[in-house]
Amino acid sequence: MKRNRTSIGLTAWILAVMLILCGCQKNGPQPVDDLIEASSNSFGARYIFTRSTFTEMASGALEDEDIVLKANGWETITGDLVDDNGVKYSSYCNRTDDLTFTVAVENESGKVMNVGCGCDSKLLSDDSFRERFVRISAITALTAGGYDPKNRDYFVGIFNDLLDGDDEIVSYGGSLYIKSVDDAATVLMTAPCSDDVIENNRYRAVDE
């Protein structure tokens, strides 16, 4: 009788653990590398890497797209900006033939706050160019976020939804996915962000 009770108790414990694990799992992809850390900036988070490291990461990830970002190719867009929390940062761009990659970097830590990919807005009327632009933006975002390259289509979906919808910002997996569009340029960005900032600003969450 004692054995039966022990067996029943063990079975119940295993089932409880399985239920907890299943409840914690999410439908969307999860990072394979932890590349985000807390920060005092207005997003409450930043990447753990510098601009130089991101250059190497992105160039490796975009090799199949025949894109290589040059370490000395970064140009300053704006320097010594100050965010709402008093953190100073600068923004830079790195141009290829028809795309412009962007990063914002904290001045003191030297670590990256957000990454993006931009293009001439008029080029998006060409379906094949738009497909390539969104794909490269997705690769850039998942590389910065530490996701497996196999998850590319998931992030393609996020950026396509942004381009086609009314939202300018959505959240997923502790990061913001941002659309900036005007007549001249379209930029798709991703920025790590704390849960508190996401909740306080009520950014719509992509289904996880």
- What is the pLDDT, as a whole number, of residue 207? 75
CA atoms within 13 A on the CB side of 16: 6
The answer to whether 83 and 41 are in contact (CB under 8 A) is: yes
The 3-state DSSP class for residue 92 equals strand
Burial track 105-143 (b if 16+ CB lie within 10 A, e otherwise): bbeebebbbbbbbbbeeeeeeeeebbebbbbbbbbbbbb
pLDDT by residue (tens digit) across 38-74?
Answer: 999 999 999 999 999 999 999 999 999 999 999 999 9
- Give the model's confidence band at 4: pLDDT under 50 very low, under 70 low, under 90 confident, else very high: low
Query: Computed from CA positions of residues 134, 73, 98, 93, in that sequence, does the dihedral angle turn out positive or negative?
Result: positive
Distance of CA 62 to the CA centre of its chain: 15
Q: pTM value?
A: 0.86
CB atoms within 10 A of CB 45: 20
- Give the model's confidence band at 201: pLDDT under 50 very low, under 70 low, under 90 confident, else very high: very high
- What is the pLDDT, as a whole number, of residue 18? 41
Overall domain count for the chain? 1
Whether the pLDDT of residue 155 is over 50: the answer is yes
**Domain span holding position 85:** 2-205
